[in-house]
Amino acid sequence: MSRNVSIIGGGVIGLVTGLSLARSTADSGTDYQVEIIEKEERVGNQSTAVAGYGIRTVYRHPVNLYLAQKGLQFWSTLSETSETGFRRNGYLFLTNDDEMSSTLQRERTRQISNGFPAEIRTPVDPGEFSTEEINRYRTGLFSPVSAVSDSARTIESIRHLCEQSGVRIRTGEEVTDIEDEGTQCRLETTESTEWADTVVNAAGVWADEIAQLTGETLPVEASARKLAVLERTVDPEMPLVVDVDTGFYMLPGHDNTLYAGGDFRHERADESYSRLLKQYGSEAYDGISDAPLDELRAGYYAMTPSRVPIIERTGNIVHVCGFSGHGFMQAPGAASVVKRMILPDETNVLREELLSSDRTLSVTDIQF
C-alpha cells in the first residue's frame, strides 16, 4: 500500500517529521511518500535558522520532559554518524535571588526523580564550569546531560538524510488552501493542486494561519526573540549558561564564537538591544562587555499558553506546533508522536488530551 503525506513547513519540525515517516516505510509495510512543501527558497530558513541549538532536560511538564529525553537520544545518536557539533556541555542555571535559589533546589529534585542527573552549587565559583570566567553567583543548578549542537551543520545533516530516505523537498512553494474531503485532503499551493492522504501542519509561527484555512484555530502566538553572535572565542566545553534573574543566556556557538540572547522585554533587533544584552550579560560574564557584535539574528518563538507544544490530529490533518522556544530539542520526540498518529495500529505513550489545542494544563513550563 502507498500513502502520501504532505508536510507544510521545512523547518526542523517538518524535516525531522519527514525523516521519521520515510524511515518507517520499511517497518510498517506501507510505502510512505513524503513531501515537504516550504515557501522559502531553502529549508530551515525561519526560526530554525535563528535557534541556539541548546537541548535541555530541565522542564516541569511531563510532555516536555518526555520530548526532551527523546530529543537528547536522537541528536546524540545522529552525532555518531553526522558532523552536527553535538556536545554534552550541560546547562547551568544561575541566581542570586533567595526565592529562586529554593526553586532551583526543587528543580534539582524533580530532575533526579525524572532520571536526569542534576547538581546544586552554592555558591557557584568563577571559572568552575569553563576556562572562561563566569561570575560568582549565590546558587547554580547544573544539568550535565543537557547539550548544544551546531545549527547549520545539524540542519544540513537532516536535510541530507531526508533526501537519502526519499523525502521530496519542494522549496519556493506556498500552501494557500486546504480542504479535508474525508478520504483525502486537497491542497492548493502557488504551483499546483494536489491530494494527500495526510497533511502535517508544521508551519511554526504560521501554524494558526494554516489551521484557519481548514476552519480551525490554534492558540499559538509569535513572540519576537534575538540571538547575538559575538566576536569572542569561548571554551567549546562551556555549558549553556542562563541567568534566571535576568533571562540572559549564552552558549558556545559555531567555531567557538560566543552566542548570547535573552528577551529583556525588548522587541527591536537593533543597537539598543545589543546594549541591553551587554548590560545584563556582564552580570554573568565580564568578557561580554567589550566583545564586538558580529551578527544579530531575529526570529520568533511560537508560544502556547502552557509552553507545551500542540500535537493533534483532526480528520486527515495533524498539527504539530507551539514549541515555545524548544523546537530543535523537541523535534525528534514530536516527530515520533506524529508518526504514531499517522501509522495504523500505533499508540502514543503521551495521552492525546495533554497535546490537544483545547486542553487545560495545570503546569506552565519554565521559559527563558
Ligand X SMILES: Cc1cc2nc3c(=O)[nH]c(=O)nc-3n(C[C@H](O)[C@H](O)[C@H](O)COP(=O)(O)OP(=O)(O)OC[C@H]3O[C@@H](n4cnc5c(N)ncnc54)[C@H](O)[C@@H]3O)c2cc1C
Compare residues 28 and 47 and give the one whose CB is closer to ligand X. 47
- Nearest to ligand X of 17, 96 (CB atom): 17
Burial group, residue 344, by CB count within 10 angstroms (0-12, 13-18, 19+): exposed
Closer Cβ to ligand X, 101 or 198, answer by number: 198
Q: How far apart are CA 246 and CA 280, in angstroms?
A: 7
Nearer to ligand X by Cβ, of 38 and 107: the residue is: 38
Whole-Å CA distances, 237 to 12, 131, 257, 273: 25, 9, 12, 27
Min. distance of Cβ 298 from ligand X in angstroms? Answer: 8
Cα 4–chain centre separation: 26
Q: What 3 state SS string does 128-152 have?
A: CCCCCCCCCECEEEEECCCEECCHH
Q: Which stretch of DSSP H or E encloses residue 75? A: helix 62-81
Q: How far is the CB of 96 from ligand X (least distance, A)?
A: 24
Q: Which is nearer to ligand X, 25 or 46 (CB)?
A: 46
Element (H, E) at 48: helix 47-50
Task: Provide, rounded to whole angstroms, the least separation between the CB of residue 107 and ligand X.
Answer: 18
Measured from the CB of residue 136, what is the shortest distance to ligand X in angstroms? Answer: 25
Question: Please, what is the minimum distance in Å from the beta carbon of residue 287 to ligand X?
Answer: 21
Nearer to ligand X, 101 or 323 (CB): 323
Q: How far apart are CA 71 and CA 84, in angstroms?
A: 14
> Is 170 strand, coil or helix?
strand
* Complex with ligand X: residue 23 or 226, whichever CB lies closer: 226
Rg from Cα positions in the chain = 21
Residue 225 three-state SS: strand
> In a 10 Å sphere around its CB, with 0-12 CB exposed, 13-18 middle and 19+ buried, how is residue 166 labelled?
middle
End-to-end CA distance of the chain: 45
At closest approach, how far in Å is the CB of 226 from ligand X? 6
For residue 252, say if its preceding peptide bond is cis, omega within 30 degrees of 0. Answer: no
Cα–Cα distance measured from residue 296 to residue 308, given in angstroms and rounded to the nearest whole number: 27
CB 167 to ligand X: min, Å: 14
CA dihedral over 249, 294, 155, 147, signed as positive or negative:
negative
List Cβ neighbours of 193 (8 Å cut-off, separation of 6 or more): 186, 187
Amino acid identity, residue 273?
Y
Residues that bind ligand X (CB under 6 A): 8-14, 37-40, 45-48, 50-54, 174-175, 202-204, 206, 210, 225-227, 261, 299-301, 323, 325-329
Least Å distance between CB 108 and ligand X?
Answer: 21
Least Å from the CB of residue 102 to ligand X: 26
Q: Which is nearer to ligand X, 227 or 342 (CB)?
A: 227
In whole angstroms, what is the distance from residue 37 CA to residue 23 CA? 19
Nearer to ligand X, 101 or 202 (CB): 202
